[in-house]
Amino acid sequence: MDLKALQATLGQLARIQNETPIIFSDGACSGNPGPGAWGAILVFRGRVKEMGLRESGTTNNRMEMMGALASLRSARLLQPAVARPKVHVLTDSTYLIKGASEWLGSWQRRSWKTADGSAVKNQDLWMEFSETLKEVAVQWHYVPGHSGVAGNERCDEIAVGLTQQRPVDLYDGDLASYGPQLFELDQDQTYPVYLAAVGREVMAFAKWPACEAAVKGRPGARFKKVKSKAEWQECLRSWGFPSDVKVKSQ
């Protein structure tokens, strides 16, 4: 997706959140199948509600679906007097978007069979989607994973944290007091990045050879390849650094 177009979409959604609920959602899974979780953020009329839930045995696709389902149900409750209110959903799951907007009708007409005659995976959740989409009119927006969209990055952070059974504080309050700038696109950092810590100095490298040269032969040096802002923050936390530590770009 063109980043300029993505920025324009985010700006438009920020302007209409007083009239239309906006949802960011994401899922994570360790092992696929394995333990997993979903994270979602619902924004409407200057309020933010973070949501998330862990499951001990699941798949990434199921977590992507469950995050969207849970947040869509919550969004529906915000406008009880409106018949089939419009909701915008931002997700990095093409499986979710295509399934809900392109494939669902065909699966139902074929009695939950795919074009090659095999059973539709996650049929139970797709049946729930079929009912939910009768109650809300969804406009889907694809967000490339780890592209710097603050709302998507925060959902990933929630989902990954819950998957790993780490404490995650879920915010419910005013948008003005919320930390992440949900509708901003951070283009200053591209991933993957090689983080390195030598003593109390933290550095970020775009290429592995430069990182290797910085840590080679340095007692106690640590390094890690990170693929998202959430992984960046988790890496610093695991090394004992505060989230606002100064990181030197090399």
27 counts as catalytic: yes
Distance CA 4, CA 15 (A): 17
Question: Which one is catalytic: 50, 92, 153, 157?
Answer: 92
Distance CA 88, CA 41 (A): 12
Taking a C-beta distance cutoff of 8 angstroms, is the pair 159, 228 a contact? no
Token duo for residue 3: 């980043």
Distance CA 125, CA 27 (A): 14
174 counts as catalytic: no
Cross-strand bridge partners of residue 225 = 194
146 counts as catalytic: yes
Question: In what helix (H) or strand (E) does residue 159 lie, and over which residues does it extend?
Answer: helix 150-163
Question: Which one is catalytic: 27, 52, 99, 161?
Answer: 27
156 counts as catalytic: yes
Question: Which one is catalytic: 50, 64, 153, 231?
Answer: 64
188 counts as catalytic: no
Q: Which residues of 129-158 are buried (b: 16+ CB within 10 A; e: fewer)?
A: beebeeebebebbbbebbbbbbbbbbbbbb
Question: In what helix (H) or strand (E) does residue 89 lie, and over which residues does it extend?
Answer: strand 86-91
Question: Which one is catalytic: 50, 55, 156, 231?
Answer: 156
Question: Which one is catalytic: 141, 146, 151, 153?
Answer: 146
User: Could you give the residue numbers annotated as active site?
Assistant: 26-27, 64, 92, 146, 156
